[in-house]
Amino acid sequence: MAIRVIAEHLSEDEIADLKEMFKMIDADNSGQITFEELKVGLDRVGATLKESEILCTYAGNVDNSRTIDYGEFIAATLHLNKIKREDHLFAAFSYLDKDGSGYITQDELQQACEEFGVKDVKLEDMIREVDQDNEDGRID
């Protein structure tokens, strides 16, 4: 979700090439990319990804549909390109930290999941995995 937040806050200049790539891969102009379209499109642009890496990109689909929309595509390609600019990460953290406390709580993650249409997520496990001090149940 953090990568999705970063993707949604990038400028048009920062994602212009990815936008064009999405349009090219979306063969039927539906605004959604199927796995087959993704596979063919990435091959067409010369991406040298193994099928397992393409599946990981497809797994970037946070709303559990069988297609990838534009925002999910941008987030997945950002992840593949390992964009981790600190200012973007801070912006994503700030977006998720609704009350500005400096921590992301389970309630704030729940709210973000609802905003992004993410269902069936075990928030306790997510927090436990990321909570560095493993004591307070929140992400800082």
Rg over alpha carbons for the chain, rounded to the nearest Å, is: 16
Rounded to whole angstroms, the Cα distance separating 113 from 76 reads: 17
Domains of the chain by start residue, with CATH: 2-80 (1.10.238.10)
Residue of 31 and 120 predicted with greater confidence? 31
Rounded to whole angstroms, the Cα distance separating 111 from 107 reads: 6
| Mean pLDDT, all residues of the chain | 76
42-98 residue pLDDT tens: 777 676 666 656 665 555 554 556 788 888 887 777 765 554 566 667 778 888 888
Instruction: Please tell me the pTM assigned to this model.
Output: 0.51
Query: For residue 22, with 0-12 CB atoms within 10 Å meaning exposed, 13-18 middle and 19 or more buried, which class applies?
Result: buried
- Dihedral in degrees, nearest 10, Cα atoms 83, 85, 91, 93: 80
What letter would DSSP give residue 131?
-
